[in-house]
Each structure stands twice: as C-alpha cells, then as structure tokens.
Amino acid sequence: MAPLLEISGLRAYYGATEALHGLSFSIAQGGITTLLGANGAGKTTTLRAISGLVRREGSIVFDGRPIDKMATEDITRLGVAHVPEGRGTFVGLSVEENLKIASYGRRDKSGVRRDLDLVFTYFPRLKERIAQQAGTLSGGEQQMLAISRALMLGPRLMLLDEPSFGLAPLIVQEIFQIMRRINEEAGVSMLLVEQNAALALNLAENAYVLETGNVVMAGPSAELKNDEGIRKSYLGY
Amino acid sequence: MEQLIQQIASGLASGAIYALVALALVMIFTATDHLNFAQGEMAMFSTYICWQLIQWGFPFWPALGFTILFSFLLGVAIERVILRPLHNASVLSIVVVFIGLLAIFHSLAGGIWSHTIKNFPSPFPNVTFAGSGYIGAHQIGMILVSLLMLFALFAFFRFTPLGLAMRAAAQNPVSARLVGVKVDWMLALGWGLAAAVGAVAGAMVAPVVYLEPNMMASILLYGFAGALVGGISNPAGAVFGGFLVGVLENLVAYFGNLTEKTFGIYIVGNGEKLTVALIIVITILTLKPAGLFGRTTVRRV
C-alpha cells in the first residue's frame, strides 16, 4: 500500500537559518508513527513544515498529492489536522465555538454531527463544559479540546505535538488511550512528537529518531525499545 | 435640572459617534495590534462620497447604503494592497503607513471637494415632540442608528460562522489557520467592516459638525479616548467608553458653567471640554492601564 505521507529531502528555515537538513521518511496508512529526539532536534519544525507554518523546501506528498507548495489552510482542508505545541486554544471562545470553528470548512453535515458525538463519547468532560470559556479549562481539558478540534476537521492524518506536555500522569494516560481509540475506531493515522519516549514507543508502531535536523535511526517501535542507544539516551535505563 | 438632562442627552448623542469610531479602532486593533490613525480620515472621505451622491440626486438612505458598500470595499482594498506586504514589517513602518494614509485621504478630499465647509443634510425629520426640549430629532436619530449598527455588528460576530472565524483569527492566527480559516482574508474583512462603521459615524455626525476635511480630527481623538478607557481589547468596553467620554465632556462644560454662575469663578467651560475629558481619560488609564473592562494579557514564555 502506498504511504499516506511521504517526505523526501525536506528542508525548513527560520529566517535564514536552516533547521531541517533534508529529512526523508514516510507514514503508513492507518498507523501511528512517532518522531523522537532531544530538544532542538527538529521534531516540532517537522510538523510545522508539513503544515506549511514555516518556509520549507523538498517534497511532501500526502495521499498522492504534493502539498509542499500549499498554504496551511488548504492543507488542513485536505485532511491533515495539526494539534499544535501549547494546545492552540482559542481562549476567548467557548468550548462549543472552539469545536464549531473547525467544522465550518466541511460539506458533510452528517459527518460533522457524527464526529461531534464521537468527541463527546471520548471526552464527556467537554460536553459538561460546552458553554464555558475555553481559557478557563484546565491544561488537560485544553489538550482534550485541541485533539477534539482536530477531530472535528474530519482528518485522515493527525499531527500531534507533545500532547503530554505539562500534564499529570493520570491525565496523560487517559489522553493516550483516547488517541489509540481515535486511531483504531475513526481510522485516523497519526504522527506523534513526544518528549516522553517510553510513552510514544508504547503507542506507535513505527519510530524515527531525529538529531539536529536529520533522521539518524528508524524502525518498528518494538525494535527501537530494545536498542541500547535508544534506551540510554531516551528511555533512561 | 432640565439643562443637566439636556447635556446628558446630547452627550449620549455624540457618545454614540465616539462609540462607533472606538469600535472601528478596536476591530482593527484586536486583529492586528495596530491602532489605525487613518480611521478618521477614511470616515471623512466616505462622508464626502455620501455627500456627492446626495448632490447627484440620490435620496439620503440609498446614498448612505452605497457609501457603506464603497467604504467596505475600500477598507478591504487598503488591507490587501497596502498592508498585506507589510505583515512582517516593524511597528514603526506601519505607523508611517497609517500617517501616510491619513495625509493621502485628507488632501484627496480637499483636492476633489475643496476645503470649504459644506452643509450635510440630516435624514431625520425636524419634528417637535414630547420631550423635544431635551434632545433634537437628529440626535435621537444618531443614537438609534448607532445602536442599530452596534447590535448588527455584535449579532454578526456572535452568531454567524464568518463572525466566529474573524474572532478566531484575531485571537490566535496560527490556530485559526490550522482549522482552515483564511486569516489573511479575515484581516481584510476586518478592515472593510471598520471602514463601513466609520462611514456611518461620519454621515451621522456630519450634519452636526459640518462637512470639511478636518471634521473627524477631534472625533477620532475622542474615539481613541473611548476605546482606551473602555479597554482597547474589548469591543463592548470600547463602545461603553465612547458613550462615557461623550457624556463626560458635556458634564464638564455643564458643571463648569454652574460653578461660574454660582460662585462667579471661571474654572472650566466649553473651551476646556476636550482638555478635561482627556485628563479624566489619562487618570483612568494611570489607575487601570488596560482600561475599565480590558484584560491584561499574560504571555507565557
């Protein structure tokens, strides 16, 4: 089967500084793939380059279509939902409005209703807080809202940037369980960036390790978990 | 007492105009973090368009309708053509562009229509009715039209998908793009709406202050004051601030005249309205820098 996302020779720039030096990797249809790496390795930049939030060069093909020249808004509408670092909450809008805004570009109104029901089954807490201002939610609830907002886009691929960041372990566990369900039940493929490598390797089937803007290692998560280098640098035992 | 009510009523009438100008300023500010210094001159230019149409024989309301549409398109065009290339420019260059726009509209209006003061017709019938000793028909009309405009805008932002997209784009542009909102177009739309609101303010106040290229100068200042007092980041607050400044300036004159009559000492009068109003504004801002209803934004770094 052709990969859902295929990236080759990807370079990204912040001003004149090159942050990614020709990355190549691909994501299989239907699976969860994770990008590991230390701070500054280029994980977030890779996601931002796919979404067109930074200047980039190279080839990015999503579902057979080149998206490397497209604007962020259009990539989003093709079915790539980016859950950004820091959750990207619209703090002044209500929870309901945060969800609504993501579904405006969609034509399939029945699909929108189905996805909204799905969101409330996964995160009943959001239903309770539907009228509340999103800025008053706790960090965990805002992360749930961010994932829900992405889900309301009706995506085929979710880009998740550090969904565990700053959250209590129990909440993280809950959110990661839901992520697996979204992957299995809604058929959404995922590209996950995580500081917490153990967590990421447990969820994902495949992993790539980034170092200063290059892919230095790749393989099935199970293999990488047992790699001595990975264990020492990222898993800490 | 009668005089006091009269002063408050006419304060509310001019306050309605300040509220509209304040709202126009806030709409652009919340989306771009810039204060559009050219807002007043753009409104003045629109008012001239309306005047010209009336001269050509159009009735007032169709003329105003066309003017609103024209101003909207002009606002959109200014954003797309002039400001779009400057999205990443420094604050200073943008301020210079705003001042340039101000000068351009000012001299354009003067060049096309000359600098002589013109009468601008009021669309409201000059009738007398109960209580008309307190407030004129045009003043009531001003308040009503402004309130109508304000409610229409609030309904637009609160209840329509486009209004929600504009609010989202203003609050968090990156997140908005990630949910498919065309943020660039939302900015242009914001400029268009602000220009349209300004056009209404101009056409409503022109019968009172008469039409000339400088007509909006002090009104823009009051509008700024209203927006800052109410909170530049809060549309409802800015509207309230506009009304507050309008009433305040008239009360200053009223109480100034009262003290002069009672004690024979002249402290403040009509001439110091603007000064005293601005002193009050500065005092409020010193005590509450974000304005009465503004929220201080805290940035996590």
Alpha helices in chain A, H assignment, sequence order: 43-51, 72-78, 95-103, 109-122, 124-128, 139-152, 169-185, 197-203, 221-226, 228-230
Decide if pLDDT at B219 tops 80: yes
What local confidence, expressed as pLDDT, does residue B129 receive? 61
Specify the 3-state DSSP secondary structure of B4.
helix
What is the C-alpha separation between B230 and B245, in angstroms, rounded?
10
Q: Please, are residues B113 and B105 in contact by the beta-carbon 8 Å criterion?
A: no
What local confidence, expressed as pLDDT, does residue B272 receive? 80
Confidence band (pLDDT; 50, 70, 90) for B134?
low
Q: CB neighbours of A100 closer than 8 A, spacing ≥ 6?
A: A152, B161, B164
Contact list, B181 vs chain A (CB under 8 Å)? 73, 101, 104
Alpha helices in chain B, H assignment, sequence order: 2-32, 39-55, 60-77, 91-113, 137-159, 161-171, 173-178, 183-209, 217-230, 235-263, 273-287
- Judged by CB atoms closer than 8 Å, whether chains meet at B177 and A72 is answered as yes
What local confidence, expressed as pLDDT, does residue B254 receive? 87
What is the C-alpha separation between B192 and B16, in angstroms, rounded?
20
What is the C-alpha separation between A42 and A221, in angstroms, rounded?
20
Selected for mutation to probe chain A from B159, B172, B175 (highest A CB count within 10 Å) is: B175
What local confidence, expressed as pLDDT, does residue B266 receive? 80
Q: Please, are residues B211 and B119 in contact by the beta-carbon 8 Å criterion?
A: yes
Q: What is the mean pLDDT of residues A119-146?
A: 95
Q: Which of B161, B175, B182 sits opposite A90 (nearest CB)?
A: B175
Q: What is the pLDDT of residues B161-199, one digit of tens each?
A: 999 999 999 999 999 999 999 999 999 999 999 999 999
What is the CA B94 to chain-centroid distance, rounded? 20
Contact list, A100 vs chain B (CB under 8 Å)? 161, 164
Decide if pLDDT at B132 tops 70: no
Decide if pLDDT at B301 tops 50: no
Mean pLDDT, chain B, as a whole number? 89
- Angle subtended at Cα B30 by Cα B278 and Cα B287, rounded to the nearest 5 degrees: 35
Q: What is the mean pLDDT of residues A195-199?
A: 89
Closest Cα in chain A to B185: A73
Selected for mutation to probe chain B from A90, A119, A161 (highest B CB count within 10 Å) is: A90
Specify the 3-state DSSP secondary structure of A100.
helix
Concatenated DSSP letters of A174-221: HHHHHHHHHHHHS--EEEEE-S-HHHHHHH-SEEEEEETTEEEEEEEH
Structure token pair of residue B170: 């203003």
Q: What is the mean pLDDT of residues B84-110?
A: 92
Q: What is the pLDDT of residues A139-165, one digit of tens each?
A: 999 999 999 999 999 999 999 999 999
Q: State the nearest Cα–Cα gap between A199 and chain B, in angstroms.
A: 26
> Which of A19-28, A125-134, A219-228 is the least confident region?
A219-228
Whole-number Cα distances in Å, B264 to A21, A145, B257, B261, B268:
81, 66, 10, 5, 12
Closest Cα in chain A to B171: A90
What local confidence, expressed as pLDDT, does residue B296 receive? 65
Decide if pLDDT at B275 tops 70: yes
What local confidence, expressed as pLDDT, does residue B128 receive? 62
Q: What is the mean pLDDT of residues A186-205?
A: 93
What local confidence, expressed as pLDDT, does residue B262 receive? 87
Closest Cα in chain A to B234: A92
Q: Residue B151: left if φ>0, alpha if ψ -120 to 50, beta else—which one?
A: alpha
Structure token pair of residue A10: 């990807």
Structure token pair of residue B65: 């309708």
Decide if pLDDT at B248 tops 70: yes
* Predicted TM-score (pTM) above 0.90: no
ipTM of the complex: 0.93
Domain map of chain B by residue range? 15-215
- Judged by CB atoms closer than 8 Å, whether chains meet at B171 and A149 is answered as no
- Judged by CB atoms closer than 8 Å, whether chains meet at B177 and A76 is answered as yes
What is the C-alpha separation between A171 and A179, in angstroms, rounded?
12
Q: Please, are residues A54 and A4 in contact by the beta-carbon 8 Å criterion?
A: no
Of the two residues B280 and A32, the one the predictor is more confident about is: A32
- Judged by CB atoms closer than 8 Å, whether chains meet at B177 and A104 is answered as no
What is the C-alpha separation between B69 and B288, in angstroms, rounded?
38
Which positions in chain A have a beta carbon within 8 angstroms of at least one beta carbon in chain B?
A: 51, 53, 72-73, 76-77, 81-82, 84, 88-93, 97, 100-102, 104-105, 149, 153
Closest Cα in chain A to B301: A86
Q: What is the mean pLDDT of residues B4-14?
A: 89
Q: What is the pLDDT of residues B20-47, one digit of tens each?
A: 999 999 999 988 888 899 999 999 999 9
What is the C-alpha separation between B248 and B274, in angstroms, rounded?
10
Closest Cα in chain A to B169: A90
